[in-house]
Homo-oligomer: A and B are copies of this chain.
Amino acid sequence: MRARVMVTLKREVLDPQGEAVRRGLESLGIQGVRNVRVGKLIELELDDAAGDVQAALTLAVEKLLVNPVIEDGHVVVDEAAR
């Protein structure tokens, strides 16, 4: 089974890396990009017998993967990839 945790900066947190990407795209001639935010994508490969994955990963997000002061975490479990 596969799961993804998407970690993004909260809206109110400045993202200089994202702004650098936005300017880079502009100088590449790509128009119409209003805003860019750079976050983390954590891909997990899990045993099929791994019980309540959603609950375990929500715990993981709270305890390890996300800094709750500046980041949000979002868990997506890909049941189809079992």
Task: Spell out A's residues near B (CB within 8 Å).
Answer: 6-8, 18, 21, 24-25, 28, 30-47, 49-51, 56-57, 59-60, 63-65
**B65 A45 Cβ-Cβ under 8 A:** no
Verify A38–B47 contact, CB threshold 8 A.
Answer: no
A33 CB contact (under 8 Å) in B6, B8, B34, B45: B45
Interface residue from B35, B59, B60 paired with A45 (Cβ < 8 Å): B35
Indicate if the CB atoms of B21 and A34 lie closer than 8 Å: no
Contact among B32, B41, B43, B44 for A46, CB-based, below 8 A = B32
User: What's the minimum C-beta distance from A28 to chain B, rounded to whole angstroms?
Assistant: 6
A39 to B60, CA, bound (A): 17
